[in-house]
Chains A and B, each alone.
Chain A
Amino acid sequence: MWNFLQLHEMSLRIIKAGVFDTVQDLGRFGFQHLGINPGGAMDRFAAQSANMLVGNSIYEPVIELHFPASILLFECETMFALGGADFSATINGDDIPLWQPIVAAKNSILQFQKWKQGARCYLAIREKLNIEKWLHSYSTNVKAGGGGFNGRTLQKDDVIAFTEKHDYKWLLKEEDVRILKWKADILWNITPTDRIAVTPGNEWDWLTDGAKNKFLKEAFVIGSLADRMGYRLQGELMPKQDGELISSVVSFGTIQLLPNGELIILMADHQTAGGYPRIAHVVSAHLPLLAQKQPGDKIYFRLTDQPRAEDLFVQQNQHLLQLQNACKFKLEEFLHEKQKVENFQNK
């Protein structure tokens, strides 16, 4: 009976809804031919890192938080990690860091007090969210009402069950929260002030030479229409040709030239097809950087080529693999420590 009750308390509860918080993973692939976009976490570097920090597979679902973010209650002892934007996270009012695993006692409240930096914060949980896959993915597709938690943003009183239970009493003792000692190294080789690398799109030459120059020299400001679907940029460019383009595939990172001369960068919830000239594509490795930008932020572009873009992707991937191995090792050490404590107590 007692165990049964405990099962019911293996969960997190939304005390107050955030502005747009959803369950995401690394995307839903294989259905774009039906018009269903991949979606997934905007900042996949942060989402993966958060999962790795708590020893999870990179494919586990995470919660993507925007500011003002949800207030969450852990209804059992929980190990979690936050990565991405800094919204001044607290557990029961005490500051906690990003990019580090944290253990919180039962009935702890995770709250985000104040916006500091970035646009999206990821919450990964070692106890694992009990979310059903829709079309092979945990990602929420709000438009289709599928995936994630009931196909929608998280609302007040939503309860997400966990699938695992772990004991941290030996660690917490009487404390509310413990910050574990391993960290993710977030500065792998880009900094927020770097130029965003792009490869030329198939319609790059629809820009005049003057427009190309302007695109690569001047700053663009992210406009107020900036969300998971795309970022409109402030600035003006004119296409060289007056041609019509038939609809074809666009992707996360595609920069389209709108008929009025504005630019839009398509983000994770992009449409699967579009009919506007694709002048450039943001390299995959720089999408996490872009995902943390918000309205008013300035960005600069620089042109790169296919081999370099591919190398950047591979480098970032290797960095993540190293992080994953390091975290696994640290978690094993941690569990070994638990064993020692328990052995000692048993003596």
Chain B
Amino acid sequence: MINFIGEMDHNLRYKIFFIGDSIATIDFGNVIDEEINRRSIALFNYLTQHPVEGMIEAIPAYSSVTIYYDVALLRKKIGQQKKVYEWLQSELQKLMRLDFTNSPFEARLVRIPVCYENEFGIDLQWMAEQKNISQEEIIQIHSSKRYRVYMIGFLPGFAYMGEVDDQIATPRKKQPRPVVPGSVGIAGKQTGVYPLYSPGGWQIIGRTPLKMFDKNKDELCLLRAGDYVEFFAITRDEFENYQGGSI
């Protein structure tokens, strides 16, 4: 397996590995950590503004950035004798010596209304029994914290947010079941909102009237990796009459 392990400033180590023959990942370790995530998003933003030659796209995750690259095009550039992955690996090493943490990015605070009534929060009652706290406490705890959007993935516009308080952290269901758009869920210490109809295993505690993903808008997704989110409770009536966007 081809791997490169390097070290950045602040002793942050990274590893380069390949996903098949035309994708490379720069990985900061198998951890959920706000500072490491900030680095990953900064690297992603830097790459979006200054793409490596032959880059097709870059994708940030919790603690990594993945690059799709054009093998045919790069082979032409570097010649038939050399391999593209070796060339790319050395380009990425050069890149990692740069200070990309200052690439402009403005994190936003997005407030998301949630109706936590049992009609929508179909797992609230079960969670309350499991956790031995009241449903009101679960709602109060969930809506009183500011969450970081670590990454977008799984479905269009699905934001992986964290971290929820230990008192309400609950493992996902063993068997996924159908989930409707707007459903707000918890899986372990993560929280998220389903943007579309999908099978899902997260514990569902409420529903937002906001559209997390809109294929017809210029800004396709409500949230971006690096944003912050606060949930606030609304009533069933407010849910029905909800007209506005996020606050």
A71 within 8 A of B: no
**A271 CA / B59 CA spacing, docked (Å):** 13
Residues of A within 8 A of B155 (CB): 35, 143, 271
**A245 CA / B29 CA spacing, docked (Å):** 10
**A309 CA / B75 CA spacing, docked (Å):** 13
Residues of A within 8 A of B168 (CB): none
> Which positions 244-262 of chain A face chain B at CB distance < 8 Å?
245-251, 253-254
Q: Using known A-B contacts A134-B215, A146-B215, A204-B1, determine if residue A306 contacts B19 with beta carbons closer than 8 Å.
A: no
A272 touches B59 (CB 8 A): yes
Q: Which residue of A lies closest to B80 (CB)?
A: A314
Q: Which residue of A lies closest to B60 (CB)?
A: A33
**A251 CA / B19 CA spacing, docked (Å):** 8
A309-347 vs B, Cβ < 8 Å mask (1 yes, 0 no): 110111001000000000000000000000000000000
B18 within 8 A of A: yes
Q: Using known A-B contacts A249-B66, A281-B20, determine if residue A202 contacts B32 with beta carbons closer than 8 Å.
A: no
B57 touches A32 (CB 8 A): yes
A293-306 vs B, Cβ < 8 Å mask (1 yes, 0 no): 00000000000011
Q: Using known A-B contacts A30-B56, A283-B21, A313-B22, determine if residue A248 contacts B62 with beta carbons closer than 8 Å.
A: yes
> Which positions 192-247 of chain B face chain A at CB distance < 8 Å?
195-196, 198, 213, 215, 220-221, 225
B152 within 8 A of A: yes
Q: Which residue of A lies closest to B75 (CB)?
A: A314
A93 within 8 A of B: no
Q: Using known A-B contacts A248-B25, A253-B20, determine if residue A273 contacts B85 with beta carbons closer than 8 Å.
A: no
> Which positions 275-297 of chain A face chain B at CB distance < 8 Å?
278, 281-285
A145 within 8 A of B: yes
A151 within 8 A of B: yes
B14 within 8 A of A: no
A139-156 vs B, Cβ < 8 Å mask (1 yes, 0 no): 001011110000100000
B112 within 8 A of A: no
Q: Which residue of B lies closest to A285 (CB)?
A: B21
**A317 CA / B76 CA spacing, docked (Å):** 12
B19 touches A278 (CB 8 A): yes
**A273 CA / B1 CA spacing, docked (Å):** 22
Q: Using known A-B contacts A284-B22, A306-B18, determine if residue A144 contacts B2 with beta carbons closer than 8 Å.
A: no
Q: Using known A-B contacts A35-B221, A36-B220, determine if residue A248 contacts B64 with beta carbons closer than 8 Å.
A: yes
**A271 CA / B195 CA spacing, docked (Å):** 14
A282 touches B20 (CB 8 A): yes
B182 within 8 A of A: no
Chain A interface residue bracket vs B: 35 or more
Chain B interface residue bracket vs A: 35 or more
B109 within 8 A of A: no
Contact of B19 among A134, A254, A271, A317 (CB under 8 A): A254
B23 within 8 A of A: yes
B72 touches A249 (CB 8 A): no
Residues of A within 8 A of B59 (CB): 32-33, 249, 272
Q: Using known A-B contacts A144-B213, A245-B30, A246-B30, determine if residue A33 contacts B71 with beta carbons closer than 8 Å.
A: no
Contact of B21 among A143, A204, A306 (CB under 8 A): A306
Q: Which residue of A lies closest to B219 (CB)?
A: A34
Q: Using known A-B contacts A283-B21, A310-B84, A313-B22, determine if residue A35 contacts B154 with beta carbons closer than 8 Å.
A: yes
Contact of B57 among A29, A199, A245 (CB under 8 A): A29
> Which positions 124-182 of chain A face chain B at CB distance < 8 Å?
134-135, 141, 143-146, 151
Residues of A within 8 A of B114 (CB): none
Residues of B within 8 A of A204 (CB): 1
Q: Which residue of A lies closest to B20 (CB)?
A: A281
Residues of B within 8 A of A235 (CB): none
Q: Using known A-B contacts A34-B220, A271-B155, A273-B153, determine if residue A310 contacts B215 with beta carbons closer than 8 Å.
A: no
A273 touches B22 (CB 8 A): no
B54 within 8 A of A: no
B62 touches A246 (CB 8 A): yes
B221 touches A246 (CB 8 A): no
A310 touches B71 (CB 8 A): yes
A249 touches B64 (CB 8 A): yes
A210 within 8 A of B: no
Which one of B98-106, B128-136, B156-164 is at the interface? B156-164
**A216 CA / B152 CA spacing, docked (Å):** 34
A306 touches B83 (CB 8 A): yes
A249-B25, A307-B83 are known; give 15 further A-B pairs, CB within 8 A: A31-B57, A33-B60, A35-B157, A134-B215, A145-B215, A202-B19, A247-B151, A247-B154, A248-B25, A282-B20, A306-B21, A306-B85, A310-B85, A314-B75, A317-B71
Cβ contacts A to B, 24 pairs, < 8 Å: A29-B68, A30-B56, A32-B68, A33-B44, A33-B60, A35-B155, A35-B156, A36-B220, A134-B215, A151-B215, A199-B21, A246-B31, A246-B63, A247-B160, A248-B61, A248-B66, A249-B64, A251-B20, A251-B23, A271-B155, A272-B153, A274-B154, A305-B2, A313-B22
The interface of chain A, by Cβ under 8 A from chain B, is 29-36, 134-135, 141, 143-146, 151, 199-202, 204, 243, 245-251, 253-254, 271-274, 278, 281-285, 305-307, 309-310, 312-314, 317
